[in-house]
Amino acid sequence: MQMRQFFVGLDIGTTSAKGTLLHASGQVIAEACSAPYQTAQPQRGWCEQQPEDWWQAACSVLTQLCQHVRGSEEIAGVAVSGQGCACTLVDEQGKVLRPAIIWMDTRAKQETDLLATRYAEEIVRLNGNAAGAYNLEPKLLWLRDQEAQLYRRARYTLTTTAYVTFRLTRQIVMNQADGGLFLGYNAATGDWSRAFLEQVGLRPELYPPLASCTSVIGEVTTRAAQETGLDAGIPVVAGGEDSPAAALSVGVSESGDAFLSLGTAAVVGICHESDRGLKEPRLLTYPHVLPGRMITSGSMSSAGAAVEWLLREFGPAYGHPPSGYAGLNRAIESSAPGAGNLIFLPYLCGELHPLLNADARGVFFGLSLSTTRADIARAIVEGSALAIRHNLDVARAAGATFKRLYASGGPTRSAVWCQIIASITGVPITVVKSGGAPLGDALIAGLGTGLIDDAGTMARQLAVFQQEYLPVAEQQARYNRLYAAYLQIYTHLLTDFTLLAAFS
């Protein structure tokens, strides 16, 4: 029999699945991606996906990766990550009862407001966080009241990751990083607070058993082996939520390490010890995929999504097609810092941290007859950078310390975007070409099977540091004034956002 020396990492993202095949020596052997799957929006603010689409995407990726080894008996372990806070109701046999309600869904506004007011102190005491529309509990309360029959039939609610590991192993288990995003999570015990869940009117038995992210939770079943190309019996490790998995992949494993993940959304996160006690309800603190570590992070709903919106609706103005992003980057570079005093609030899909306001919407402030299309493009990118700074400032005020951001994701290919972020935040940006959640998952699989001792060190050895961007001092005074105005504009518009939301 061949020595087991390969690890598979699988990430089930918001739009598609991706995978990485890693050798125990630290060499990335292969990467794979599925076709995109659909997000249904049957009503305004609703965002749903079919869990079967996640599984078919996982099968596609795993089948591709297995082609790069002589036999799948060489694979030592598999770990999975995925988009956080998806609400997937299943029955006793694991059959899906309805489409999954994903993190982007904002239908449960009333339930969110209830949790954010009546139970705010209790949630902070339990885990240091605050209720947002992305959380699981508002969705469950909505289902309890609006789809009562399905709610009563449900045996468990699973995250994206827990559903895929269930299909691999037939074991109902949730990893600690996923669980730490839930309002019913007790950070002190690492388990669910049954008392809190009963207090808010939810069934505690819906919540699956929790496992450490690096724990082996089961083995690939015969049926899953037939569908994926894996061998039956391969250990499956619990895995994690995709943000800390991506953080691990770029070497964010020690206290003070920080990352920036840019994609559809933007996520910043700072690593610290579990006993540090860093609590800031405007941000999110939850378990890292590494034992003894926590991540305090802020997620912004529209970063790359705002640029995609601009290109989709006004692409020809920037030479799209065929030049696409290249034309957009040239436009941004032709506009001076500050975009002609045009400020963009990047809340096209509400906003997560630190605002936690599903009613917030995108705003251009300062349009004039002299505003150019280049100014609009630059303002959109500067707006995302201002949102990143907002999260970093809140983290600093809570006691977080960091010296640079290790950045990954598609938008980091834009030098002008990275430079804007560095100058607006005042933090050096190091772009890591390698990395991503699937690589982090493969490292978790190595840890869980005992064949990798130090995943953080291996990740840093694997990292390909592509470019460093330092803040430009002569731009910072202007950006500081822009940032102050950005914060005030949002504050002044708070009641207007609520009024606008009432129109729908």
Task: Kindly report, residue by residue over 188-205, the tens digit of the pLDDT.
Answer: 999 999 999 999 999 999
pLDDT per residue as tens digits for the range 107-141: 999 999 999 999 999 999 999 999 998 999 999 99
Per-residue pLDDT, averaged over 65-81, amounts to 88
CATH 3.30.420.40 residue ranges for the chain: 6-250, 304-394+415-427+472-501
pLDDT per residue as tens digits for the range 256-272: 999 998 888 899 999 99
Per-residue pLDDT, averaged over 329-350, amounts to 96
Q: Work out the mean pLDDT of the chain and round it to a whole number.
A: 94
CA distance 336 to 496: 30
Residue 93 half-sphere exposure toward CB, CA atoms < 13 A: 2
CA distance 178 to 197: 17
Per-residue pLDDT, averaged over 160-175, amounts to 98
Q: What is the pLDDT of residue 1?
A: 43
Residues 428 and 471: beta-carbon distance below 8 Å: yes
Dihedral of CA atoms 241, 246, 248, 252 in degrees, nearest 10, equals -110
pLDDT at 504 over 70: no
Per-residue pLDDT, averaged over 44-59, amounts to 96
CA distance 216 to 239: 9
**What's the CATH number for 304-394+415-427+472-501?**
3.30.420.40
**What's the CATH number for 6-250?**
3.30.420.40
Q: What is the pLDDT of residue 436?
A: 87
- Using a pLDDT cut of 90, give the percent of the chain over it: 84
- Using a pLDDT cut of 70, give the percent of the chain over it: 97
Per-residue pLDDT, averaged over 303-331, amounts to 84
472 Cβ contact list (under 8 Å, min separation 6):
419, 422, 423
Q: In 120-257, which ranges are E strands?
A: 156-158, 174-175, 185-186, 191-192, 210-211, 216-219, 235-241
Per-residue pLDDT, averaged over 230-251, amounts to 94
Kindly indicate the confidence band of residue 358, based on its pLDDT and cuts at 50, 70 and 90.
confident
Kindly indicate the confidence band of residue 323, based on its pLDDT and cuts at 50, 70 and 90.
low
Q: What is the pLDDT of residue 409?
A: 84
Per-residue pLDDT, averaged over 337-343, amounts to 97
CA distance 285 to 299: 11
The pair of three-digit structure tokens given for residue 363, joined into one six-digit string: 């705003």
Per-residue pLDDT, averaged over 357-381, amounts to 96
